[in-house]
Amino acid sequence: MAADVESDILAVIDAATAYTEDTDLFRGPVLPPGVVGGSHPIPQKAVFVRFASGSPPVVHRSSSVEEKEWLVDIIVRGEPLTYGTTRTSAQAILDAVNDNPPANYVDAKTMTSHPQWVDRDDAGSDYFLITVRLRKLEA
């Protein structure tokens, strides 16, 4: 189930931003630049979408519908020493996914109104985190 949630939110980012799947937008953990991920080496400036957690399904007894909820992390890494540009890119991704649920979901909400700065690596690249809560109803 987690892999589907990653793919679904990745598709929203791919459709609504300049990031492209398997070019600078990847599913799974953050990988260092140069490592081959998908069909290309991972660039310095990249976005990674990974499953974070989920809640047990809630069954609505009157209708036998299950409500499922997941958290998905989006990690945005920029070019070295481009904090402002990276933050702007991360905000564009946040704006693209917030209140824009993938098909078959009822809700997509970011946990904050702005991307959270996480760290700067040894190469000088800044990392920003966006966490999205997705909800789906299934019969």
Q: pLDDT band for 138, please (50, 70, 90 cuts).
A: confident
The closest of 126, 118, 128 to 92, measured between CA atoms, is 128
With a CB cutoff of 8 Å and minimum separation 6, the contacts of 96 are 12, 13, 16, 17
What average pLDDT does the chain have?
A: 92
Q: What is the pLDDT of residues 36-88, one digit of tens each?
A: 866 779 999 999 999 998 877 787 777 778 889 999 999 999 999 999 999 99
CATH at 31 = 3.30.2000.10
Q: Specify the amino acid at residue 36.
A: V
User: Which structural domain, as residue segments, surrounds residue 41?
Assistant: 2-138
DSSP 97-120: HTT-PPTT-SEEEESSSSPEEEEE
Which whole number is the average pLDDT over 23-33? 94
User: What local confidence, expressed as pLDDT, does residue 38 receive?
Assistant: 67
Check whether 2 has a pLDDT greater than 60.
no
Total of domains in the chain? 1
Number of other residues whose CB lies within 10 A of the CB of residue 118: 14
pLDDT tops 60 at residue 32 = yes
